[in-house]
Structure 1
């Protein structure tokens, strides 16, 4: 397990992740606030006021997961999945709710049937997962026809600076992805309405699975 993954599995990080660690790092990396990211997540997934089934992959301590659940109605429900036991313990303690639940699992082999969810997301974790492409394909597999997928992950420019930052990030186990990786993967899987937005070192990509 590399340094980045060891850090994410540390109980001490789970205690401060959403209140200090993530907001500070994401603001430095993207220039965006957590509030902006959360509102955009609801918009990108198109879940406002619906009874959809949502999967939040690599949910961490569940702050995003719980926020998404607050925008659902009826039978709407968000499942947060993470591999880190300390993060899930924090999620269960701080972010439980009527329309939210948590499960431990491996992003590369999701324990769900094809087409289980109406919306699937992964915000700020694909660069930590050992096989991010396999994890993304799993997200697409469990997404129902007509559903929405949204990710936030790292970004590097195709230039000397991008190459240098990629090498530096890899020393701690982080991956940086180029502009084409996820739009091309989505297109190859038959997804449509693919939209990509880049903010500094972060990229936001969402798409639809044809009905």
Structure 2
């Protein structure tokens, strides 16, 4: 297990991740606040009513609980993560009537094809050992007409991009180009593909045709 993954599995980080670690680092990386990211997640995933949602690599549930409050009826958000300390923190801090948490491997999701109306992974694909396989799994469990949204690293052009890639690799973080995820979504027949770049992060979303 590389340095980045060991860090994410540390109980001490789980305790401060949502309140300090993530907001500070993601603001530096993207210039966006947690509230902005949460509002955009709701809008991009088109959440409302009794939808079934998967929040992949949910960490301490900083998005899971928030997304669940947009749902009604039988709507539910499942937060899945591999880290036991993160999931324990999620249950303590982000329990909600329409949120539940599951331990699992992003590369082999324990769900049937087309289970979810919306699937998201915010700020974690660069930590997963096989992020492309994990993304294919996200698409597999997405129902027809459903929405998928991710945020992940983005390699900027020039020397700074090369430096960030090298530094990230040394710590176990993947830095992606701007073509990988739009191309992967298109390969699987997704439509309405949208990509936005904010400093060192890219936000990509798409629809699975009905």
Within 5 Å, which residues of 2 pair with 1:43-192? 43-47=43-47, 49-192=48-191
> Can you give the 5+ residue segments of structure 2 that lack an aligned partner in the other structure?
none
What is residue 38 of structure 1 aligned with on the other side? Answer: 38
CA distance in 2: counterparts of 1:158 and 1:200, whole angstroms: 11
Partner-residue secondary structure (3-state), 2:125: coil
| DSSP 3-state at the match of 1:50 | coil
Q: More deviation in 152-161 or 200-209? A: 152-161
What is the CA deviation profile of residues 36-86 of structure 1, one whole-angstrom value per residue up to 9, with x for unaligned ones?
A: 000000000000x32100000000001210000001111110000000000
- Secondary structure of 1:98 counterpart: coil
The reply on whether 1:27 has 2:45 as its aligned counterpart is no
Tell whether the 8 Å contact from 1:158 to 1:178 is kept in structure 2 after alignment. Answer: no
Aligned to 2:18: 18
Distance in structure 2 (CA, Å) of the matches to 1:147 and 1:192: 11
Deviation at 1:164, TM superposition (A): 2.0
Under a length normalisation based on structure 2, what TM-score does the superposition of the two structures give? 0.99
* Local SS of the residue matching 2:27: helix
Alignment match, 2:200: 201
Q: Structure 2 CA distance, aligned partners of 1:136 and 1:57? A: 10
Name the CA distance, whole Å, in 2 between partners of 1:199 and 1:94.
28
- CA distance in 1 between counterparts of 2:62 and 2:157 reads 33
Q: Unmatched 5+ residue regions in structure 1? A: none
- 3-state SS in 2 of match to 1:63: coil
Deviation string, structure 1 residues 113-160 (Cα, Å, up to 9, x no partner) = 000000000000000000000000000000000000000000002433
Runs of 4+ in 1 over 6 A off after TM superposition: none
